[in-house]
Structure formats: C-alpha cells, structure tokens
Amino acid sequence: MFIPGETIIHKFYIPFITQDVSKVWLTYKQNGGVILEKEMTSIEPFEGTSVVSLELSQEESLLFKDDAPFLAQVNVLLTNGARCASHEMRGISGTQQLREVVTGNG
C-alpha cells in the first residue's frame, strides 16, 4: 500500500518490443469507478520486452482513499492497432509483470 499524498512510481514489464508499442496508459480504479487515467511516457527496451514507468505526483495520489484497495489496469495499444489490457497491480507501489494479457481490436 502507499500513503495518499506521497509520490509513487509504478513500473511494468510488458511482453512487447518497444517498436511495436504505440501507447501505454494506466487506468486506476477504486470502489468500482475510474479515479485517474494517465499515459506512461517512459518506454524502454529490456531483453526482448519493454519496461514502462509512470510517476504519480503527490496531488494525483491524493485521489486515492487510504482505506480502500485500488486496481491499476495496464492498457497497451500496439502499432498494428491491437489493444491489450491486464489487471495486475492491487494497492501497491513498485514493479509488476504484465500478465493475463487480453488482445483485441480497437
């Protein structure tokens, strides 16, 4: 868990090479609703995959309620138009592996 009001960094390894990735963004959900969506601006190659990272400011982290778990949905748009999503990070700050990838169009 993290404390609302602190600066946090989320880092994900995604199973795509950097040149295949058009856009990556996180959708944060809490209590059944979306509280924040933010594009990940850092995409770096790593051993045949990509590493994406995102920093949430102190002001952005204040959107989270400290007593309720949150879920971060990783959204990936590939250059061929396919979209992928994964629900992996639950209430923590740190590094996660993108798993349970669902691929579809648009």
DSSP calls for 14-27: ESS-GGGEEEEEEE
Q: Residue 35 belongs to a domain with what CATH number?
A: 2.60.40
Position of tokens 């400011």? Answer: 57
**What per-residue confidence (pLDDT) applies to 4?**
61
Number of domains the chain contains: 1
> What tens digit of pLDDT does each residue of 31-80 get?
888 999 999 888 889 888 888 888 888 788 788 766 667 777 888 899 99
pTM assigned to the model: 0.74
Is 1 a domain residue?
A: no
Is 35 a domain residue?
A: yes
Is 47 a domain residue?
A: yes
Mean of the pLDDT values across residues 7-23? 84
Domain range for 32: 8-97
**Between the CA atoms of 11, 91, 100 and 38, what dihedral angle is there, to the nearest 10 degrees?**
-50
Is 3 a domain residue?
A: no
Is 92 a domain residue?
A: yes
